[in-house]
Structure 1
Amino acid sequence: MSKNLKQTLINSIREASRYDTGNLTAPVVVLWPDPEKQWSSVIAILQEDMPELMVLGEHEPEKRTGPAIWLKCMVASTLPDADWDASLVPVIYLPGISKNDLKKLSQADPAIAPLMEYQYTGTLWTHRNGKEWTVNGFLQNKEEGLGLRIDQDNATRDAGIKALPTMVRDEGIQFPNIVTSNFLFSLLFHDVEKSILEWMCQGDDWLNSLDPDKREVFRNICRNVFDFTPNPKNIRSITLQLGRKDGPWAKVWNYFELAPDRFPEILGLLEQAKPDDMGSGLFTIPEDTWPQINADAEEDLRKAMERVAKGAPNEAADIIHQLDDEHGKRRSQVWASMGKANLALALKPLKTLCEKVADAFDTTSLDAITAYYSESGWSVDYAAVQALATAKTEKEKNAVTAVLKTVYTPWLERLACKFQELIGEQPKTLTALELRNEEAECILFVDAFRYDIARKWAEQMERKNYRVNLDTRWIPLPSLTPTCKPYVSPVAEQISRQSTPNEFRPCTNDDKDLTFHHFEAALDKAGYSFPRNSSELVRGQKTWMEIGKIDQFGHNEQSGLVHRIEELFGVLEERIEDLFAAGFKSIRIVTDHGWLLVPGGMPAEKLPKDHIETRWGRCAILKDGVPSELLHLPWFWNPSAMIAYAPGISFFKKNNEYGHGGVSLQECMVPVITLESDQVSWQPITMQVSWTGLRCSVTLQGVQTGYKVEIRTRHTDESSRISTTKTLSGDGKFSLFVEDADYESAAAFVVVTDAKGVVLEKQQTVVGE
């Protein structure tokens, strides 16, 4: 049942001044006697909506409080502060004064004597039975109050008084059928579960930081609801209650699961409190709450995964499925989100990988093998990336690598060898590509954007309401940036097909080495700007932009590059948002090449130094006359230059997990992505941000009906929202509230999106500053 106590209270007080115009004289004032001062905590809140409400007390006119003489002047409207609407009857709150005190004319307290005439010329706000309103009485009253059913014990009575400011301030509280002290206490601690965890972490330091009333309420909640006394000496038994998750403690555990990093001490407490006997039957203690049990399971899993490499390859998939049946449940436990069940997380993509590599695929033609990879095979590569990305320590990486070497590497080798065989039969597929300029209003070049990675990113963007078209193309050989980047650019037709293979970098038609400087000049000649960052974008001008460091990470960090994929996704999405915000209606994403990633290292292919003119990891130019059985294919930019390629997934050096430049589907088949947005025609959005405590005031210009504004910790991630969300009806000033005080002083972004969630504008800020 939802009730608005504040408005109900105001209506009742103002109703007291109503009178029969035919028989009575209008009251000059409403007196509000409150002998126990039960209502004193909400007077300031009521004054926000009741300019006519004044208080008997010390002279503090800014608080509409003063002695009797000042109050009489206010009632008579002889002071400028008496600025309420003429239709309102002034109200005087009398803390510590009873109705009977007003009747003792001969024994009148001098402080209230000047007001006593108002019991005749004014009226009193009291219950129909003539008694002063109490908080409990008003909450229960059906005629004027909320009509609630309330427990009639002292604890509930006291809790109602303590919770009064919360009940008055918060609109739409859902009251239960019967209001108990526990419910009222919960209003004082909206996050009582969070408070218990904070006390467990900080002890008396946290408890003493509360004001005395709230401290006592917290103690009452602990005793009455959670069956413990907040004493640090009892922390072991209290932690055991948390681990058992009995009754209300289940909610405390659930809160801990949502944000374990905010309560780091809980981990150590659980380690100390784990019982030796986990019980049985009805008395079984849950196992998922104890870090030691998870740690032991993770160690057992690590050893089992390493044993996979020692067994028969055809048994590996069955073992992974068995391990997933045993350990998969730990992926949903808190330890997974804390980075303490990484191998359990790795089992999910490893299981997918095992299932996919078992699928037969057609190798009778290039079209067939290409269709297999673009439709299904790519997911094997991405599963390997995901599995490696879950491994954070060297031991974890070794365990995942052991499985991948047994299951994934043979699939890679088989696929690469068959692709090279087919290319050897049909070399023109890669050597006789059509040469034409890449044309679009906006081209975004993403370095080493392999097909599987690009496909996953495109799926994410589709879920964010972009229109995405993903296509594929072959890139020229060798699959290296100097050779391939010009081919996918607007300057392709300016490049000579008679170039000298200087580090596989071609020349322009006027015989200029295609260095970065000359590439930029060629773009300018083609009518394309080359902004380095979003601030240099020019609306209406054809644009070439570059982003991404995957290739750099791959060469420097080897398989460690898998930890950079999510970073690339975020940076790329931000750049897309900037481009659409700058007014581009369509964005074309191109890349130079893909890559191979072979966990544990690629097989080394020996190539004598005296046979080599130029050597990269997966390709080389051999000296004239050197005999070789390696696959040889002409260089795209000069067919007279023949290039030798490493067989299968091998590398011309030792100890390399990452490489490109060779002939494989992963290296040579690349994505081409076109994105469009439903974003309305571009117009600048200006934003001014200021803070008052945890309330953020945002002034916006250039927004349209249906746009939204909110605060996030990561502007591209809607799940990182930490504030209320406002749906806009146009320009104006809007207030956003950060509901969790723990975010105070945290870096954040005020983000404006369209109705579908596409980010249109952002501004960095610091919460509360």
Structure 2
Amino acid sequence: MKLIDLLAAEIRGSAAYNTNVQVAPSVILWTDKLCQWAPALPLLQAAMPELIVLGEYAPEKKTGPAIWIKCVVDGVLPEIVLPSDRTPIVYLPGVERRDLRAIGSCPDALKPLAELQYRGCWWIYSNSGRDWTVNAFLVSSNGGAGLDVAKDEKAQQAMLRVLPEILENEREELSNRRLEAADFNKLVSSDPVRDLLSWMNDSKSCRERWDASRWQALAGICETEYHFSPEQDGVLTAAELLCQHQGIWHSVWQRYTESCQHYPHLPELLLKVQPDLAADGASYPAINASEEKDLELSLQQLLQGGCDKARQSLKTLEQRHAKRRSWVWSELDLAPLAGALGHLSQVAEKTAKVFSGSDADEMAVQYREQYWQADDQVLKALACPLPASQQVLVQQVLALIYTPWLDEVTRNFQGLVRSKGYPGSNQVNEATAEYAVAGEVVFFVDGLRYDIAQRLNQALQHLGDVRLSATWAALPSVTATAKAAITPVHDRLTGRTTDRDFEPSLLDNDTDFSSYYLKKFLQEKGWQYLEEGDSGDPTSNAWVQSGDIDKEGHVKGLKLAARIDTLLAEVQERVEELLAAGWRKIRIVTDHGWMLTPASMAKVELAKHLTETRWGRCAVIKDSVDSGYQQVGWYWNSAVSIAMAPGACSFKAGQHYDHGGLSLQECLTPVIEVRSTQSPATSATTSATLSDLRWLGLTCKIQAQTASESVMAVLRTHAADAGSEISKRKPLKDGKCSLMVDDQYEHTSAVLVLLDEQGNVLAKLPTLVGGE
């Protein structure tokens, strides 16, 4: 990792906060009384586009006085746009923390910034409020680079003189040796290719921050080795030579393609190079930009034709543009439509045939073998980071080639259910019957559709013996009905004609089934209900629920596609924690899938007077009258008649995401079994439960319940990663323990972990270092 990347990560990391007890800081304040970091400002602002600087008014450089900075932070200056996904960083050269803390004596020029300290956070070296000096950052192993820097005056002066060059170096290249003045000076001319690319990336700032000797050294090397004069020929000539990458310039081009992210402005220069007719677009961004425009126009044009013609056009376009995804411009996000096209062409291929079968089970086999990939590619196409206008274009193409296929396949499935019956009517309880007697976690993930379960299945393969199978959801495919059907306590439930919102009631009275009764009945059966952070006793059985897929689908609609991988990563992390705690088998189950359409689902009319309850994809029909739509019996009571929306339609307008209907996407549900192949720990029977956690300054006081005196407590940044520990391990005594944390981790998100003798995680609880 380059030191500039490490520095950026550490500064941004100071904005970490506990969402349970805090609001997000609106700004990160970075004081630098000695102005040591100022010489590296161009590099710092290139690496952190959210960085704004206190100084003379120069908005083009994101620099200005205090009142201007406050306006930028509050987002009231439309001409200054900071990255929306980053916390603004305010660099304050010549200012120290106490200048703002002492509001009464705060200089007038700084007073507009004083209040930011109460809704922001600091990037500081310690609780004393000291600035992060360059030397402190380079030598510190906690929040810094952990390098060995000589303390003599010459070394310190050289270090500050070549600060930008230091930050552009990899940490590994500077580690494991003592850095003297000579080592820093060698950085000036040790890598002429890097200097050449840096100059091409931002010639003005390089000339401003480089001393005469460094510039003269580069100029001489360019004339003798690269056959051009930087002063006489300029950057455009260098850009032409780079695009041609002939002779010695080939090595410069290779370096650029390997580290292109470190030269963010270079493509702007290269775009000015006019390619000849025989030029290769792989090295000329102008050709790539032209191809992107042509692709956008072609996609707009194919919307004018029919579905079959559009599929053929996508195939032809893919043959032309696929190679662009291997170009460096794709890595730099300069070919986003070429990336989306790869998924669109796959959707076109997978949906070319509308499949059916002799019954619903046969359709399910075909879907599991290949057609799930159509849904997966749709999600990936929707997840591509595109400008808003191009996102709409992709949605329109998908609506043309995917939605009609989805509608026809769903109608085929519904027809088979009408004539042959729904296989889930007698298979749901078979899945629960297979729950192990002991030693198994049943991990419920709401809305884990079969195609994204394929992604999760692949991500879990390294954990042991992992197998993906499928079953059917209880009808209608909504959480209230289908989740209850797969719980270990389903035999305590029934359905009454008076039940509402598809929620079953208790068998022995008409009380609605709720989370309270789920926990109560699990306990009566000898099952554990594990809250977030609990690991439980691996010799018993446990029910775990996590994941916000369905919730985010209802809230975000089409934007769910871009969140899938993040949501699955959270599930994977929880699985890893449970395995680390000693569980040998985890069964991941779900209640239902969902339907996601690129355009709003077509609305079909259903008279309100016919319905007791009406959702988007299903509705309870009064007195089982004929609604004109396909009707099925409620899983919990077949006397309750439920109308199903036909095809990919909805009883409500404006729906992109919904479930409850009768489709393979909603009803065919995955089951993932994870069996650990590691030898079970000898202390797997040890259990512990966290009961209290409090912070006194930087001391974490905990209390837990455990029958063993060998349980250890530790704080980590990642629960299952022993390498992320930020405190010493300490044993629990009478269930109590105090852990001390270095002040560099103040306000850092962490996890309190309880371990057995073998290091297995017994319990965990997220916290904020120093938080209340």
TM tier relative to shorter chain? 0.5 to 0.7
- Cα 1:212/1:649, change in 2 over 3 Å: same
Q: In structure 1, the residue corresponding to 2:529 is in which secondary structure?
A: coil
Shift of 1:478: 0.3
Give the aligned residue type for 1:243: C
- Cα 1:169/1:433, change in 2 over 3 Å: closer
Q: Indicate the residue corresponding to 2:155 in structure 1.
A: none
- Cα 1:335/1:205, change in 2 over 3 Å: closer
Mapping 1:441-480, distance limit 5 Å: 441-462=440-461, 464=462, 466-480=464-478
Distance 1:207 1:196 in 2: 12
Q: Indicate the residue corresponding to 2:424 in structure 1.
A: 430
Task: Supply the RMSD in Å over aligned alpha carbons.
Answer: 4.0
Distance 1:465 1:224 in 2: 55
In structure 2, which of residues 301, 306, 310 is the aligned counterpart of residue 312 of structure 1? 306
Q: Indicate the residue corresponding to 1:410 in structure 2.
A: 404
Give the aligned residue type for 2:627: S
Shift of 1:378: 0.8
Paired residues of 2:445 and 2:547 also in contact (CA < 8 A): yes
Shift of 1:597: 1.2
Distance 2:668 2:503 in 1: 20
Mapping 1:520-535, distance limit 5 Å: 520-535=519-534
Paired residues of 1:467 and 1:675 also in contact (CA < 8 A): yes
Shift of 1:749: 11
- Cα 1:330/1:715, change in 2 over 3 Å: farther
Q: In structure 1, the residue corresponding to 2:545 is in which secondary structure?
A: strand
1:303 matches 2:297: yes
Distance 1:555 1:232 in 2: 61
In structure 2, which of residues 389, 394, 401 is the aligned counterpart of residue 400 of structure 1? 394
- Cα 1:291/1:470, change in 2 over 3 Å: same
Distance 1:714 1:256 in 2: 34
Distance 1:227 1:533 in 2: 63
Q: Indicate the residue corresponding to 1:225 in structure 2.
A: 225
- Cα 1:678/1:192, change in 2 over 3 Å: farther
Give the aligned residue type for 2:260: P
Shift of 1:325: 1.7
Paired residues of 2:311 and 2:345 also in contact (CA < 8 A): yes
- Cα 1:491/1:715, change in 2 over 3 Å: closer
Q: Indicate the residue corresponding to 2:244 in structure 1.
A: 244
Q: How many residues align?
A: 521
Q: In structure 2, the residue corresponding to 1:225 is in which secondary structure?
A: helix
Paired residues of 1:378 and 1:451 also in contact (CA < 8 A): yes
Mapping 1:292-691, distance limit 5 Å: 292-359=286-353, 361-433=355-427, 435=429, 437=432, 439-440=435-436, 441-462=440-461, 464=462, 466-498=464-496, 500-511=498-509, 512-624=511-623, 626-682=625-681
- Cα 1:584/1:207, change in 2 over 3 Å: farther
Q: In structure 2, the residue corresponding to 1:588 is in which secondary structure?
A: strand
Give the aligned residue type for 1:618: R
Q: Indicate the residue corresponding to 1:199 in structure 2.
A: 199
Q: Indicate the residue corresponding to 2:8 in structure 1.
A: none
Shift of 1:499: 6.8
Q: In structure 2, the residue corresponding to 1:644 is in which secondary structure?
A: strand
Mapping 1:705-720, distance limit 5 Å: none
Distance 1:715 1:248 in 2: 49
User: Could you state the TM-score of these two structures normalised by the residue count of structure 2?
Assistant: 0.61
Paired residues of 2:450 and 2:593 also in contact (CA < 8 A): yes
- Cα 1:169/1:519, change in 2 over 3 Å: closer
- Consecutive unaligned residues of structure 2, counting only runs of 5 or more, are 1-171, 178-184, 685-716, 724-747, 752-759, 767-772
Shift of 1:223: 4.0
Distance 1:358 1:403 in 2: 14
Distance 1:749 1:321 in 2: 49
Paired residues of 2:610 and 2:627 also in contact (CA < 8 A): no
Give the stretch that moved more between structures: 211-220 or 425-434: 211-220
Q: In structure 1, the residue corresponding to 2:650 is in which secondary structure?
A: coil
Paired residues of 2:577 and 2:719 also in contact (CA < 8 A): no
Distance 2:260 2:558 in 1: 29
Give the aligned residue type for 1:443: V
Distance 1:549 1:211 in 2: 54
- Cα 1:360/1:631, change in 2 over 3 Å: closer
Q: Indicate the residue corresponding to 2:276 in structure 1.
A: 279
Give the stretch that moved more between structures: 247-256 or 591-600: 247-256
Mapping 1:101-180, distance limit 5 Å: none
Give the aligned residue type for 2:371: G
Q: In structure 2, the residue corresponding to 1:530 is in which secondary structure?
A: strand
Asked which structure has the greater CA Rg, the reply is 1
Distance 1:204 1:377 in 2: 55
Distance 2:467 2:205 in 1: 57
Paired residues of 1:477 and 1:484 also in contact (CA < 8 A): yes
Paired residues of 2:449 and 2:592 also in contact (CA < 8 A): yes
- Cα 1:456/1:189, change in 2 over 3 Å: farther
Q: In structure 1, the residue corresponding to 2:623 is in which secondary structure?
A: coil
- Consecutive unaligned residues of structure 1, counting only runs of 5 or more, are 1-165, 172-184, 686-712, 722-746, 751-758, 765-769
Distance 2:599 2:765 in 1: 44
- Cα 1:517/1:207, change in 2 over 3 Å: farther
- Cα 1:168/1:212, change in 2 over 3 Å: farther
Identity %: 32
Shift of 1:326: 1.7
Shift of 1:484: 0.7
Paired residues of 1:475 and 1:593 also in contact (CA < 8 A): yes
Distance 2:174 2:290 in 1: 51
Shift of 1:715: 11
Distance 1:455 1:205 in 2: 49
CA deviation profile, 1:135-157 (whole Å, cap 9, x unmatched): xxxxxxxxxxxxxxxxxxxxxxx
Distance 1:481 1:550 in 2: 12
CA deviation profile, 1:537-591 (whole Å, cap 9, x unmatched): 4443422111211112211221111101111232122112111111111111001
Q: In structure 2, the residue corresponding to 1:642 is in which secondary structure?
A: strand
- Cα 1:500/1:529, change in 2 over 3 Å: farther
Q: Indicate the residue corresponding to 1:113 in structure 2.
A: none
Paired residues of 2:359 and 2:417 also in contact (CA < 8 A): no
Give the stretch that moved more between structures: 644-653 or 189-198: 189-198
